[in-house]
Amino acid sequence: MAPPEEGRDRSVRPMESSIRTGLTRGSTYAGYLDLDRLLSAQHPRSEPEHHDELLFIVQHQTSELWFKLVLHELRAARRHLADDEPAPALKCLARVKSIERTLTEQWSVLATLTPREYAQFRGVLGSASGFQSAQYRAVEFILGNKNAAVLAVFDGDPDARAVLDGLLAEPTLYDEFLRMLARRGFAVPSEVLTRDVREPWEFQPGLVPVFRAVYEDPDAPWDVYEACESLVDIEDNLQFWRFRHLRTVQRTIGGKTGTGGSSGVGFLRRALDLTFFPELYAVRTEIGT
The answer to whether 259 is annotated as binding is yes
d(Cα 57, Cα 154) in Å, to the nearest integer? 21
pLDDT digits (tens, 9 = 90+) for 74-130: 999 999 999 999 999 999 999 999 999 999 999 999 999 999 999 999 999 999 998
The answer to whether 174 is annotated as binding is no
The answer to whether 59 is annotated as binding is yes
Instruction: Examine residue 12 and state whether it is found in any structural domain, yes or no.
Output: no
User: Across residues 127-136, what is the average pLDDT?
Assistant: 92
* Percent with pLDDT over 70 in the chain: 96
- Three-class SS state of 44: coil
Instruction: Examine residue 247 and state whether it is found in any structural domain, yes or no.
Output: yes
pLDDT digits (tens, 9 = 90+) for 220-257: 999 999 999 999 999 999 999 999 999 999 999 999 99
The answer to whether 211 is annotated as binding is no
Q: Which of 154, 157, 158, 155 is nearest to 137 (CA)?
A: 154
Is the predicted pLDDT of residue 1 greater than 60, yes or no?
no
- At residue 18, the pLDDT reads 77
Instruction: Examine residue 2 and state whether it is found in any structural domain, yes or no.
Output: no
- At residue 11, the pLDDT reads 77
Instruction: Examine residue 201 and state whether it is found in any structural domain, yes or no.
Output: yes
Cis peptide leading into 189, omega within 30 of 0?
Answer: no
Give this prediction's pTM: 0.92
- At residue 260, the pLDDT reads 86
- At residue 7, the pLDDT reads 56
- At residue 289, the pLDDT reads 82
Give how far Cα 24 sits from Cα of 16, 29, 240, Å: 20, 10, 44
Instruction: Examine residue 152 and state whether it is found in any structural domain, yes or no.
Output: yes
Instruction: Examine residue 16 and state whether it is found in any structural domain, yes or no.
Output: no
Taking CB atoms within 8 Å and a gap of at least 24, the contacts of 176-182 are 176/78, 176/81, 176/82, 177/81, 177/227, 177/231, 178/207, 179/81, 179/82, 180/81, 180/82, 180/84, 180/86, 181/210, 181/224
Whether the Cβ atoms of residue 210 and residue 186 lie closer than 8 Å to each other: yes
- At residue 203, the pLDDT reads 97
pLDDT digits (tens, 9 = 90+) for 156-201: 999 999 999 999 999 999 999 999 999 999 999 999 999 999 999 9
- At residue 213, the pLDDT reads 95
- At residue 70, the pLDDT reads 98
Instruction: Report the number of distinct structural domains present in the chain.
Output: 1
The answer to whether 60 is annotated as binding is yes
Instruction: Examine residue 1 and state whether it is found in any structural domain, yes or no.
Output: no
pLDDT grade, residue 278 (50/70/90)? Answer: very high
Instruction: Examine residue 94 and state whether it is found in any structural domain, yes or no.
Output: yes
- At residue 5, the pLDDT reads 58
pLDDT digits (tens, 9 = 90+) for 21-64: 777 767 888 999 999 999 999 999 999 999 999 999 999 999 99
The answer to whether 118 is annotated as binding is yes
d(Cα 19, Cα 23) in Å, to the nearest integer? 11
The answer to whether 62 is annotated as binding is no
CATH code of the domain in which 224 resides? 1.20.58.480
pLDDT grade, residue 3 (50/70/90)? Answer: low
Domain, as residue range, for 191: 50-284
